[in-house]
Each structure stands twice: as structure tokens, then as C-alpha cells.
Amino acid sequence: MTDSRPSVPSAAELLRRYAFHPKKSLGQHFLVDDRILERIVAAADLSGREAVLEIGPGLGALTLRLAQAAWRVLAVEKDRSLQPVLSEVLRDFGNVQVCWGDVLEVDLPRMCEEAFGPRTVRVVANLPYYVTTPVMMKLLEEGPVMDRMVLMVQREVADRLTARPGTKTYGALTVAVQWFAEKVESVARVPASCFWPRPEVDSVVVRLDLRPRPDPEVTRRLSRVVRAGFGQRRKTLLNALSHALAGRDRASIEQALRHARVAPDRRAETLSLEEFTRLAQALADGVYPKSM
């Protein structure tokens, strides 16, 4: 049987040849384990027709596998000094475009529209860990229309994404991600030895199957209540919301809590997504029948 895997210089060889020193400040921990790279691509479930957005292509190990399996790949990379490496590694792939910039600053929907036209996007990335949460939130709240995200994140973040109410790791990120994704699952645990240089933490590949994008106004209301609740997670919801929701008096908040069938002395960490959405709706409605 012939080996269909792309033949590319190893990370060690590329780093030596280009005298490249990974930058800790940019979270540069390159994946050097073929099996994990293949599991990421398998989790993305590519059939040759997908428009893929990659954040942080680095030395291009994941990028070229995505280019082999997808229709087109748009890769956003902040570190311009990787340009000669990526040019060499990706030279045989006409379906890859690298955009140089900070993913937190660029206009992702516009970039994707220019690269792919009006296509649904699949995000696949070994994320730089120093910006995992802001990148995820930017993609979910302001990103292009997407159907799935396959992301390498530090284990502690994966635990938060899949946490259940009432546990220590359940928080604002959990609720936000559950709002946008109908299914969140851990696909592979990845020890630090699969990267070079090794990170200090273990990692997990997570897959998020996304719902159609919810109404932005409803999302904004929910996000305000979730942040207010978890902003003071040791306080009761009545106290936390009274403190954080400027312009709302305590009585109307208590009324909204009761209307949403959430006891005012509960804490944010015990509320399910459904209870948070009821509460956000009740606070938005603001007027309740007398019997409530």
C-alpha cells in the first residue's frame, strides 16, 4: 500500500533550515504528531467541498492536510516571519490563501466572503492558547456563517466547554458555547509531547457542531445576563443581577426571576442554558401578569 500522507520536511528540519525560533508570546507550540494531525482532519469530516478557515497555520503541518481534504483553505497568521516557511510547505497547494494579521483584529466575515464567496465555513485550528477564549467568542459572535469548529484547546478550556451545571468548571463560556452549538464533544486528548516546543499543559481536540446563528439581539440579552450572573458567582442571582444590571431595580429583577421560574436565591453556576434563556427573556419583557 502506498502512503498517501504528504511528504513534508519535519518541524525540526524547517525550524533549523529557516533558523526559526518559536515565540512563546504567540503561543507557538507546533504539532509534530502525525496521528493527532490526522485525527483533527478526520473530526472536521471533509469531503473535498468545504471552505475551511484555519487560525494560526504556523509551519503549515495542519494547513496542508486541510488543503488536501477540503475545497479551499483560508489561513490567518499573525507572525509574518513564518512567510518563507509557509511558502515552501504550501507551494503545491493552489487552494490555500494565507492572510497575515491578528485574528482578533481582522474582519473575518469579509475575508471569508472574499476567499470563498457566500459559503458556509468550517473552522479548524490548533489555537494559540493565550487567546483561546476571545478567539472562540469572536468566531461565535461575529464570525462568518459556520457549521462546525474543530479546535485544539488546553484541557482546562475543554473541561469548561463540556461542563455540567453545578460543577466548578461550569461558567459563562460553557453557557455561551452551548447557546451556539447543538453538540460539543471532546475528540482526542493530546499530551504535551505531541507538540514542539512542549506546552506546560495537556490539550484536547474539541468539536462543536453549530446551530444556525441565533438572533443577535437575543444573544446580546442572554450574554448580558450570563456575564452579570457569573461576574459574582458566589452571590445569589438576585444580588448578582441587582449589582450588575445598571438601570434595573431589585424588585423588577426578583419579579423576572420568579416569572422565569428561577428561585432568586440560586447561584448562576446552577442554571441550565434553558433557565438562562427564560431569565433573559423575562428581563427583556419586563412586564408580568399580577399572578406572577
User: Which positions touch ligand SAM (CB under 6 A)?
Assistant: 26-31, 55-59, 61-62, 76-79, 102-104, 126, 128, 131
Min dist. Cβ of residue 29 to ligand SAM (A): 5
What is the three-class DSSP state of 130?
helix
Min dist. Cβ of residue 13 to ligand SAM (A): 14
Report whether the peptide linkage leading into residue 197 is cis, meaning its omega lies within 30 degrees of zero. Answer: yes
Give the residue with the Cβ less far from ligand SAM, 76 or 111. Answer: 76
- Residues with Cβ < 8 Å from 119, sequence gap 6 or more? 51, 112
Min dist. Cβ of residue 134 to ligand SAM (A): 9
C-beta of residue 89 within 8 angstroms of C-beta of residue 59:
yes
- Which residue shows C-alpha cell 483560508? 74
The CA distance from 120 to 114, in Å, is: 13
Closest CA to 15 of 67, 60, 66, 74: 60
Give the residue with the Cβ less far from ligand SAM, 105 or 215. Answer: 105
C-beta of residue 210 within 8 angstroms of C-beta of residue 146:
yes
Give the residue with the Cβ less far from ligand SAM, 65 or 259. Answer: 65
Min dist. Cβ of residue 169 to ligand SAM (A): 22
Give the residue with the Cβ less far from ligand SAM, 204 or 256. Answer: 204
The CA distance from 154 to 203, in Å, is: 4
C-beta of residue 66 within 8 angstroms of C-beta of residue 124:
yes
Strands 51-55 and 72-77: parallel
Min dist. Cβ of residue 79 to ligand SAM (A): 4
Give the residue with the Cβ less far from ligand SAM, 85 or 280. Answer: 85
Chain residue at closest Cβ approach to ligand SAM: 56
Give the residue with the Cβ less far from ligand SAM, 134 or 214. Answer: 134
Min dist. Cβ of residue 251 to ligand SAM (A): 45
What DSSP character marks residue 192?
G
Give the residue with the Cβ less far from ligand SAM, 91 or 233. Answer: 91
Min dist. Cβ of residue 92 to ligand SAM (A): 18
- Dihedral sign of CA atoms 132, 133, 135, 139 in order: positive
Cell of 120: 458556509
